[in-house]
Structure 1
């Protein structure tokens, strides 16, 4: 079993307040707790973005097909501006956003450069007005389009330095602060890659606002095909693109999506058992809490009750929110909740939604023992002391683990933190 990384520290956990006294300290889950101030309102200020991008202290996280550059699976590696200048140019933010939109040419690949924020704890000499700190960016170096050669060269140069692009479906071994930075970069890179065309008209879109929005430009310098099917030369004036609904009304921008997902520890009416479920693809004896997507016009509490009933047949009464977790696979926000079954609603029925292979009620003592020795990632061995046939649960980097820690550790009687 791989060592599990520490979780991020809760925000201001050492500050006394009415809320902390009543509800306990805030729970910070893996992929949250970023050390960066996103200063999101400055993403349109290209004088700020330009200064941050070209500063000598700035760090760039590189992603190749969403695999992050790293020293090893637990520690990211960062490039400098000189390392990627051949790919992104001296300064892709030197011109205003309006100028870049007017110069748009869909036949030319513009490398994705994302502004992630500044680490204000590190006074590295970068200063712009009242803002000081170490800037962080992410760059998509996936070889594609007209910059395939340049991107491939950057990748090989990084590998020559002994660094690696860590592949895998999930990256759950990174130290907590860098896991949050990676999650931010991955989610935005993936969203940009999934939205190369406009949902309103189907024409190519362009990344703006330092990688956090996309626009459907009204004009395009791309060469149009001639009567023989070949491309004409690049026009001296841009072609007017087809009309698009996104250029009318309030805005012509497309924003990154976040999919709210509920995940819940369901306790029996007497508070002595927890409902767990398992899918067919999971290892033997491996169970977890139930989860599902929120639907339109549905509250979080309603989504918890609906998903639990659909997957297990169990009926819930009171639902409370415990904590949340960003989950960049690809764009989920896991909303952790605790729900309690109704007195006559504890019977399990799996015939409604066939998503689960099994669901069962588990005593609190068995939950506590599994949390002690039986936690692991899906592809990893359980912890030391685990006995074959015993219950297995997700690792502490998963919010499911934190929910089970809460309900088995005194949450239900108010003797532990939320």
Structure 2
């Protein structure tokens, strides 16, 4: 089966590669393949960020309670600097991070402004040294705190023009390039929203590094009385020293976004004729998928695959190989797609170890082929046209589970070194 048209192209697909000749074409999964160069090393460049923010070519992706502003379910909508200027306080990057930390006041709400990167395909417009392109930012416009009025005004103005903030647990109908932009922004804005307080001392934190780090400031102007200095007519307000924090005694006073490694695996029988699939109780009838679970500390990907499969289904897996990966911004997973093969005497299904699954079954390859052809849909979506009631239903091509199954039935394990599992 050829790659699905809704998936992004892998990097440099037309360049001859020994690795491609030996191991096959690289798979780029949905939510990856962003057209934006992140330029992570420029996030702390005060001059670059402050100029990029206000440039006429800059686009802002807005989120309200993590719902993105979009033209329709397939395409995002973007704002300009003038649309968000009042909400974000002009140009928050005019001050250096050091100045922002010194002037920190935890009673003032500072909407997260996140630098996503430059679209280098758009050469006209913004330039910074050797770097050219259209800047992209994301802004959290959720009405809260001291900017509730300003945020509400932005939401009303943008939706009055036609675009809407699209609610939903998952957004998997966006075109592939914008799905990747959305995934980057959503994951980082969600992380910022979940970490308003320091894990070391419990005090409020401040977003820095263009939205990709959070700092626990040593001082705070919040709820402070004026301090008289010298002459009674001279009043100087000084910040309070905050309680000691373990983050200020180490190498850096920062916390970083988390990414949770998660294994998801297509398990094949020892005779290479069947797939092991499972289902949860809340899923539609006949809807199955590959097994998945979180990696634990001190555990390799291969060990996590074997443990999760055994815990959930009772099946023992032998050889494991990694197929591809998929960012999954719900909230911060990296899905590590693997293919594993059961050992000869380890194929008996036993669901009583960890009763997470309602059912697990072995399905013949032909059943899975038919499911991939006529039975794929997202959770909560109707079966596609041509589906025969009672047949196997599977996740859509935008899910890595689909790509793992598709790879195996297309012969991924039938040639070269990959067959020796």
**TM-score (normalizing by structure 1):** 0.96
Report Cα offsets for 1:98-139 as digits up to 9, x if no partner: 001000000000111000000001113100011100100000
Q: CA deviation at 1:225?
A: 9.0
Indicate the residue corresponding to 1:177 in structure 2. Answer: 177
User: Is the CA contact (8 Å cut-off) linking 1:37 and 1:119 kept in structure 2?
Assistant: yes
Indicate the residue corresponding to 2:312 in structure 1. Answer: 311
Indicate the residue corresponding to 2:251 in structure 1. Answer: 250
Q: Following the alignment from structure 2 to structure 1, what is the Cα–Cα distance between the partners of residues 356 and 251?
A: 41
Q: CA deviation at 1:414?
A: 2.4
User: Is the CA contact (8 Å cut-off) linking 1:24 and 1:416 kept in structure 2?
Assistant: no
Q: Following the alignment from structure 1 to structure 2, what is the Cα–Cα distance between the partners of residues 297 and 188?
A: 26
Change over 3 Å in CA distance of 1:206–1:5 after alignment to 2: farther
Q: Following the alignment from structure 1 to structure 2, what is the Cα–Cα distance between the partners of residues 244 and 274?
A: 51
* Mapping of residues 170-249 of structure 1, within 5 Å: 170-224=170-224, 236-249=237-250
User: Is the CA contact (8 Å cut-off) linking 1:276 and 1:359 kept in structure 2?
Assistant: yes
Q: CA deviation at 1:89?
A: 2.3
Indicate the residue corresponding to 2:42 in structure 1. Answer: 42
User: Is the CA contact (8 Å cut-off) linking 1:314 and 1:348 kept in structure 2?
Assistant: yes
Please state whether the residue corresponding to 1:158 is helix, strand or coil: helix
Please state whether the residue corresponding to 1:413 is helix, strand or coil: coil
Indicate the residue corresponding to 2:230 in structure 1. Answer: none
Please state whether the residue corresponding to 2:87 is helix, strand or coil: helix
Q: Following the alignment from structure 2 to structure 1, what is the Cα–Cα distance between the partners of residues 297 and 416?
A: 36
Q: CA deviation at 1:29?
A: 0.3
Indicate the residue corresponding to 1:129 in structure 2. Answer: 129
Indicate the residue corresponding to 1:393 in structure 2. Answer: 394
Indicate the residue corresponding to 1:143 in structure 2. Answer: 143
Change over 3 Å in CA distance of 1:22–1:101 after alignment to 2: same
Q: CA deviation at 1:64?
A: 0.2
Indicate the residue corresponding to 1:167 in structure 2. Answer: 167
Please state whether the residue corresponding to 1:53 is helix, strand or coil: helix
Q: Does 1:157 align with 2:157?
A: yes
Please state whether the residue corresponding to 1:283 is helix, strand or coil: coil
Q: CA deviation at 1:51?
A: 1.1
User: Is the CA contact (8 Å cut-off) linking 2:106 and 2:204 kept in structure 1?
Assistant: yes
User: Is the CA contact (8 Å cut-off) linking 2:225 and 2:237 kept in structure 1?
Assistant: no
Q: Following the alignment from structure 1 to structure 2, what is the Cα–Cα distance between the partners of residues 305 and 87?
A: 49
Q: Following the alignment from structure 1 to structure 2, what is the Cα–Cα distance between the partners of residues 101 and 311?
A: 47
Greater mean alpha carbon deviation, residues 9-18 or residues 365-374? 9-18
Change over 3 Å in CA distance of 1:221–1:349 after alignment to 2: same
Please state whether the residue corresponding to 1:393 is helix, strand or coil: coil
Unmatched runs of 5 consecutive residues or more in structure 1:
227-233
Indicate the residue corresponding to 1:61 in structure 2. Answer: 61
Change over 3 Å in CA distance of 1:404–1:350 after alignment to 2: same
Please state whether the residue corresponding to 1:253 is helix, strand or coil: coil
Indicate the residue corresponding to 2:19 in structure 1. Answer: 19
Please state whether the residue corresponding to 1:317 is helix, strand or coil: strand
Q: Following the alignment from structure 2 to structure 1, what is the Cα–Cα distance between the partners of residues 407 and 417?
A: 7
Q: CA deviation at 1:383?
A: 1.7
Q: Following the alignment from structure 1 to structure 2, what is the Cα–Cα distance between the partners of residues 185 and 69?
A: 12
User: Is the CA contact (8 Å cut-off) linking 1:265 and 1:404 kept in structure 2?
Assistant: yes
Unmatched runs of 5 consecutive residues or more in structure 2:
227-234
Q: Following the alignment from structure 1 to structure 2, what is the Cα–Cα distance between the partners of residues 389 and 399?
A: 24
Q: Following the alignment from structure 2 to structure 1, what is the Cα–Cα distance between the partners of residues 416 and 361?
A: 26
Indicate the residue corresponding to 2:288 in structure 1. Answer: 287
Moved over 3 A (4+): 415-418
Q: CA deviation at 1:159?
A: 0.9
* Mapping of residues 88-127 of structure 1, within 5 Å: 88-127=88-127
Q: Following the alignment from structure 1 to structure 2, what is the Cα–Cα distance between the partners of residues 51 and 43?
A: 12
Q: Following the alignment from structure 2 to structure 1, what is the Cα–Cα distance between the partners of residues 250 and 411?
A: 52
